[in-house]
Amino acid sequence: MAEDNFVSYMKEQGSRVNKLLEEVLSDKNVDQNIEKLLGRGGYDYDTDAIEKSVMDPAWYLISQGGKRLRPVFTSLVISLFKKNPDDYIEFSIIPEVLHTATLIHDDIEDRSVKRRNVDCVHIKYGLDIALNLGDFMFYFPMKALIDSSKLENEQKIKIMQLYIEDMLKLGIGQGVDLAWHNFLINPNNISEENYMRMAFDKTGALLGFAAELGAVIGGATDRQIKLLGKFGATVGVVFQIKDDLLNIEKSNVSESKGGVGDDITEGKITLLVTHAIKEADEKDRSRLLEILKSHSSDPKLKEEASNILIKYNSDGYVEKIADSLINDVWNEVDKEFPDSHGKELIKQMVGFVLNRNF
């Protein structure tokens, strides 16, 4: 497969990222890491308490794995500017830690029980610890940025500006998604354009930030930063569309998140659903919305809702949308940057996202 080189690179770079994450988040270096983060004040820290309430649950989730797509993406973008990404690997973990924070909060908001085939953080450690940990992880990785001597102050300020903008987008997108699956808005009034705006904000923000981070480190122009941010956000949206597709069939994605149709139990208004609402007859539309509103975990009801989506070719429709989105923005990136090994791996990453079945 064309994506094999990218997959190998992702595994190799992911292994480096994992080692770095273990250094800063496992219970091996609690004293040292707290001193780096906060310095030494006049009172002693209760490191046992910090270990049990912060480091242990953080490493519990991080150590379950994941594709590490965000740090890999940051590294590849850095390489577009003829810099060695390994020289900046400590920055590549920033979007991964932020992503992990969003997973903790998402699982609470979605009332999820499983994540990566194990108990969610709030199930294993409690709601209070999970909420606090998510908050902590939104801020802690930026410390590496502030303390670094590798970047100019102008670069640090630019990254912080982008971080704030993207986190605001994420919060707004998540808020819209929560309003939808709690049926605070009539689903019949949610357009495809509404969905795309929500998805670019909620799902695209962190991959967009991962690309912007790499671009600023690489020395990109403002125009290039904007283009790569748009590209990253689009990759995020396409990744989400693939997730939604894999969720309505038996796959590693659906099994790791609570079984086939878990999005249906949550009442998620996905692109599949917005298309089906528009195309279905009154009977099927009403039945689909009835099942979504019930938040039922009954496998028969989830299968019935999935079959309605498939009946109106919503799966085929969103596949075409995903292909079109990513190909259009890739053409812009392709024209902007000269051929290189990093660029070829980014192209393969696009194929990986489009063709993945896990």
pLDDT tens by residue, 55-84: 999 999 999 888 899 999 999 999 999 999
Longest CA–CA separation in the chain, Å: 69
CB 218 within 8 A of CB 83: yes
As given in the structure block, the two tokens for residue 207 are: 């991959």
Query: Which are the contacts of 53, defined by CB distance < 8 A and separation ≥ 6?
Result: 125, 129, 132, 133
User: Which pLDDT score, from 0 to 100, does residue 185 have?
Assistant: 96
Phi, psi of 196 (to 5 degrees): -60, -40
Q: Comparing C-alpha atoms, which of 3, 23, 75, 6 is closest to residue 351?
A: 3
User: Measuring CA to CA, how many Å separate 218 from each of 32, 75, 91, 94?
Assistant: 30, 10, 12, 16
The per-residue pLDDT for 320 is 96
Say if residues 273 and 187 touch (Cβ distance below 8 Å): yes
Task: Spell out, as residue ranges, where the chain has pLDDT lower than 50.
Answer: 1, 251, 254
For residues 60 and 25, give the distance between their C-alpha atoms in angstroms, rounded to a whole number.
10
How many CB atoms lie under 10 A from the CB of residue 140?
A: 19
Phi-psi label, residue 295: left if phi above 0, alpha if psi -120 to 50, beta otherwise: left
What are the phi and psi torsion angles at 337 (to 5°)? Answer: -115, 140
- pLDDT given for residue 37 in this prediction: 78
User: Helix H segments across the chain?
Assistant: 4-25, 30-38, 47-50, 56-62, 69-80, 89-109, 121-125, 127-139, 142-147, 153-181, 192-202, 204-218, 222-247, 252-256, 262-266, 271-279, 282-294, 299-311, 314-336, 341-355
Q: Using an 8 Å Cβ cutoff, are 241 and 321 in contact?
A: yes
Is the domain spanning 4-355 CATH 1.10.600.10? The answer is yes
- Integer Cα distance of 81 and 78 in angstroms: 6
Question: What whole-number distance in Å separates Cα of residue 72 and Cα of residue 14?
Answer: 7
Look at phi and psi of residue 312 and say left if phi exceeds 0, alpha if psi is from -120 to 50, else beta: alpha
* Residues in CB range of 358: below 8 A, 6 or more apart: 246, 251, 252, 253
CA distance 6 to 111: 34
Query: In this structure, which long-range contacts are made by residues 123-127, counting pairs with CB atoms below 8 Å and at least 24 apart in sequence?
Result: 124/57, 124/60, 125/53, 125/56, 125/57, 125/60
Determine the Cα–Cα distance for residues 272 and 172; give it in Å rounded to an integer.
Answer: 21
Q: What's the angle, vertex CA 327, arms to CA 321 and CA 332, rounded to 5?
A: 135
